[in-house]
């Protein structure tokens, strides 16, 4: 439909995070943590700063990518990794994805996708968390990525 209507899509941001390590103590979920995409391949209009994407103009946007988390240990039987797209202006979860593993395992990859209307000035964050039955170190992986598009 977009092609038939001569609609345009413009990539505003594409990037990956640096590796961030944080200690995890079992057994509840860790707090949601904002991912900072420090490797910016494209950042038109400087919409990303310190893990926050500021919407430049009211309209239709899409966010898509993959969040990859790693643990320092395969010990334990149950782990769950989560990632979400969060509108911190309206405190609304726009999309959420979980990956669970049992009998070991030390990593999880969560695809993220959302498309919808946003208002100029809205602040969007990509966040992650995890839960496991043993303590270890949680790390973000540089293969994680996010792309933000504006649809006209």
- What is the per-residue pLDDT across 62-103, written as a single tens digit (0 to 9) for each? 999 999 998 887 777 778 899 999 999 999 999 999 998 766
pLDDT band at residue 4, thresholds of 50, 70 and 90?
low
Q: Cβ(47)–Cβ(53) under 8 Å?
A: yes
Q: Cβ(115)–Cβ(95) under 8 Å?
A: no
Mention every residue, 6+ apart, whose C-beta is less than 8 A from residue 6.
none
CA atoms within 13 A on the CB side of 55: 24
Task: Give me the mean pLDDT over the 113-136 stretch.
Answer: 93
Kindly list the distances between the CA atom of residue 51 and the CA atoms of 46, 77, 127, in Å, as whole numbers in the listed order.
12, 32, 9
Handedness of CA 99, 150, 86, 25 (dihedral sign): positive
Q: Cβ(80)–Cβ(131) under 8 Å?
A: yes
Predicted local distance difference test score (pLDDT) of residue 77: 73
Kindly list the distances between the CA atom of residue 50 and the CA atoms of 35, 42, 100, 141, in Å, as whole numbers in the listed order.
8, 15, 28, 17
Give the model confidence (pLDDT) of 6-47 as tens digits: 678 999 999 999 888 888 877 778 889 999 999 999 999 999
- Residue 126, phi then psi, degrees to nearest 5: -100, 125
């Amino acid at each position: 439909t977009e092609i038939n209507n001569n609609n345009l899509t413009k990539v505003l941001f594409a990037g990956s995070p640096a590796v961030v390590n944080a200690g995890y103590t079992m057994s509840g979920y860790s707090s949601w943590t904002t991912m900072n995409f420090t490797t910016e391949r494209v950042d038109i209009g400087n919409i990303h700063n310190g893990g926050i994407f500021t919407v430049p103009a009211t309209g239709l946007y899409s966010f898509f990518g993959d969040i990859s988390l790693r643990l320092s240990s395969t010990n334990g039987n149950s782990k769950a990794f989560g990632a979400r797209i969060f509108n911190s202006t309206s405190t609304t979860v726009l999309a959420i994805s979980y990956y669970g593993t049992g009998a070991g395992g030390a990593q999880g990859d969560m695809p993220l996708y959302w498309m919808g209307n946003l208002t100029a000035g809205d602040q969007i964050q990509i966040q992650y968390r995890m839960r496991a039955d043993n303590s270890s170190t949680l790390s973000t992986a540089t293969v994680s990525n996010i792309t933000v598009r504006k649809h006209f």
